[in-house]
Chain A
């Protein structure tokens, strides 16, 4: 990228709130139903119907506002955003304009180990539109209104990101946060979490913003990065060739990997916002905020800090373990139940378990190894029933999900041998069979010690207690 130019990015993220019913009707929000089976009279915008606000959506918006330390508006207002489109049943979208429910807040992101605070201008509640389906209708357009009326929280950032990388970091952080808060399932394929990116460039040192283009409806982290990088290149090239960026809405085409113009500012709608007379202003009092605050889960940042302090974990493990609430919970239960050190638990969870989950493309919530079973396994390490090495073997069995660690150890005879008599006789045999190596060791070649350990373990099929083996070998080889 040209070093004379500076990029300015602001994101508008649409997070679909995980309410059971729609924001203004009782219809279900479940994804994937037959077209138009989850749209009631209100969603269809029939003559005479009226919206009734879903309190759960308000609660979720307030939870979000508190998580980003934002001002929660004691008085917010729904407004009608007027435009015609076939999948917008009423000819207006109920949104919030002048008085949004969540005011100024912030989110801290990390890029290449450097922390940066991104301002959040506002977050407001609105209803989603339906979907226009252009395929398979013999040249006509089908309309599915199942999604119409699904609650969205639109989170608007300040134009404070200066690279695609930062934008991706912000989006990922936001994605993690809303899932943490349990207010959005974060499913990007289904469109539950998507964003519009406002992108402009300016010569380094210039104060005024350049003219921005808005890239609409990006639904993956990869596409955000690509779309922004493309748009930045396009704008720089345009300006350097004597052209001018025009304010417009653009669409990112992930197949062609380019952005193209949807509509210019001149063609833009005048949305004629005005307060929706069918809905009362939303009033939020202190009691409600206190109640929400008490219910607020520990946030990722705080959790990570606590994991470092309480469990003595390094930064990376703490970050990894707190990447989702479910994983963090899993880890904490394992620590509590296994009586192993937190470090061993962390190694197991971030190591074997996550590797297996990744390989099987499973979420922690779908793990075939429950936290009880993993804790059961680690317990047997801590009480020396099995060695770490045998434990890996047991874990593979656990993954099959048929038995507990104890049952596997029992059935397969994997119990560690701590009987010193048995170990001693093996050691004696090994020493007797390998006198050359004994000589080498005694003449100062310490490395040979490993050879003896290996031989003993091999003879005992790995079941000998390694500590015991070490101690006795050292005595015998003296």
Chain B
């Protein structure tokens, strides 16, 4: 039953083939069986079975939604009432959230069953899930490689079928890059489409929650629940949420695909390039036309991102000071000691590095040269996307320069690590939506195809992804040992 899609499961739950409690127990068993992947930080077994029981009542009463009774998991960045919400950090190892994130609230209302909280890079800062206080997550396709990050636990859990689907968050590629490396479907919605309330902030102007699933159809169902205006989040956008499933099978005849020449140049692994070429050929067969376009600002994205995101995070993470919640050092002698040791001991290396970078970039004398400059670049990048997307319907390209790399391979070299997000970061700076879908394999490891659309074109992206998944079976393949 763990291989079924959400619609298939919904059907089975309604037909009485199995109950949500049985389904939930099956997933709990799998989680237990594959704990070596380290995908979960917290498994909320008791709570999950309670929710499943309630879901069965709803199902029996005919009062169920598509997600009612479906076992899924939350990235440990979403505050979940009465459940530890660690954000992958020692700083919040003792933090039991006293309230629900809007996204958590929405899944609760839908009657979905939360299996637990998923591992992630500390405070969502990382591209390999190695910065987690709870240790690295292993990629089910090759347990010596990373699952990507920061939503590494989410990607690994979905790929290994330790949850039907999972939430992720994407600040610079944190949904798409792990989705690509783990061979699953991931969607980063338009900035403002999904509420950020209760989602622990890394870089507020870039963070966006989204679905991580095995198929585009499942992603459409999840996004339907996650999306929408939230009066608690001033940056969420008050636009109606379309029905994401209704247009899934729309024809792609005449679809204009743009391939930025900068995405296929130096730095892209040739096997990955060949795999993507084949995927794009499938789209030609589906009636799409493909043209080369140019995104001249592309190479500026990483430097701009590594000013803006750290600048915002340097302020966002100031609240972790050992005073009100989270980690507090032992026996502080005075206030400065309390601050420096609580933060020094509570944060990991990468988090401290980004706080320092951001603090530096915002300091008197550097603000104009770094922060203001980066904001100007951000506008140029947005303009480039707007221009490109006025000429083509969608942009396609790689998600990552290579397939999953080895655990420990890049962690000592931050710049090399940062470059693994080279194809995803510009999308966050522009705020447009983008997906990663399984497009084949290179060296027996999954390759993701990135599809980038215009603002609020999630339905279009899902349609494009879904039709591809009707003619290919990459997304249904299982890593060995996780069938």
Contact = CB atoms under 8 A, between A and B. Distances in A.
Contacts of B231: 52
Interface string A247-280: 0000000000000000000000010111001111
A84 B339 CA distance: 9
Contacts of A44: 324
Task: Tell me if A's interface is mostly helix, strand, loop or mixed.
Answer: loop
Contacts of A52: 231-234
Contact of A277 (B235, B319, B362): B235
A48 B234 contact: no
B470 interface: no
A88 B235 CA distance: 23
Contacts of A90: 315, 318-319
Q: Determine which residue in B98, B232, B320, B335 has the highest number of CB atoms from chain A within 10 A of its CB, and name it.
A: B232
Contacts of B199: 48
Interface string B227-265: 000011111000000000000000000000000000000
Interface stretch (B26-34, B200-208, B287-295, B417-425): B200-208
Contacts of B201: 47-48, 278
Contact of A45 (B197, B314, B319, B362): B319
A46 B325 contact: yes
A274 B371 contact: yes
B234 A82 contact: no
B352 to A, nearest CB: 15
B192 to A, nearest CB: 10
A91 B79 contact: no
Contacts of B362: 82, 272-274
Contact of A47 (B85, B314, B359): B85
Nearest to A86: B323
A45 B197 CA distance: 12
Contacts of A270: 363-364
Q: Determine which residue in A41, A50, A52 has the highest number of CB atoms from chain B within 10 A of its CB, and name it.
A: A50
Given A46-B98, A47-B92, A49-B198, A277 B321 contact: no
Interface residues of A, number: 28
Contact of B233 (A50, A89, A273): A50
Contacts of B319: 45-47, 89-91
Contacts of B474: none
B95 interface: yes
Given A84-B318, A272-B359, A277 B205 contact: yes
Contacts of A279: 234-235
Contacts of B205: 277
Q: Determine which residue in B312, B320, B323 has the highest number of CB atoms from chain A within 10 A of its CB, and name it.
A: B323
Nearest to A25: B232
B286 interface: no
A368 interface: no
21 contacts: A45-B319, A47-B79, A47-B85, A47-B92, A47-B326, A48-B85, A48-B101, A48-B198, A50-B196, A52-B232, A52-B233, A53-B234, A84-B321, A86-B335, A89-B323, A90-B318, A91-B319, A272-B367, A277-B205, A278-B204, A278-B234
Contacts of A47: 79, 85, 87, 92, 95, 97, 200-201, 319-320, 325-326
A143 B323 contact: yes
Given A270-B364, A272-B359, A48 B318 contact: no
B70 to A, nearest CB: 24
A45 B232 CA distance: 14
What 8 pairs between A and B have smallest CB-CB spacing? A91-B318, A277-B205, A272-B362, A277-B204, A48-B198, A45-B319, A47-B200, A48-B79
B99 interface: yes
Interface of B: 78-79, 85, 87, 92, 95, 97-99, 101, 196-201, 203-205, 231-235, 311-312, 314-315, 317-321, 323-326, 335, 339, 359, 362-364, 367, 371
A92 interface: yes
A51 interface: yes
Interface in A294-327: none
A80 interface: yes
A272 B323 contact: no
A51 B235 CA distance: 10
Contacts of A86: 321, 323, 335
Interface of A: 41, 44-53, 80, 82, 84, 86, 89-92, 143, 270, 272-274, 277-280
Nearest to A42: B232
A462 B321 CA distance: 77
Given A41-B99, A46-B325, A48-B198, A274 B234 contact: no
A277 B326 CA distance: 24
B363 A50 contact: no
A48 B204 contact: no
Contact of B234 (A80, A89, A280): A280
A89 B324 contact: yes
Contact of B315 (A41, A46, A80): A80
Q: Determine which residue in A53, A82, A143, A278 has the highest number of CB atoms from chain B within 10 A of its CB, and name it.
A: A278
B371 A82 contact: no
A110 to B, nearest CB: 41
Given A82-B362, A84-B339, A272-B359, A50 B318 contact: no
A426 B136 CA distance: 112
A82 B78 CA distance: 25
B234 A50 contact: yes
Contacts of B85: 47-48
A92 B83 CA distance: 27
B96 to A, nearest CB: 11
Contacts of A48: 78-79, 85, 97, 101, 196-201
Nearest to A274: B362
A135 to B, nearest CB: 17
Q: Determine which residue in B203, B321, B335, B363 has the highest number of CB atoms from chain A within 10 A of its CB, and name it.
A: B321
Given A46-B325, A48-B199, A50-B197, 8 more contacts: A45-B324, A47-B87, A48-B196, A48-B197, A50-B232, A89-B323, A274-B315, A279-B235
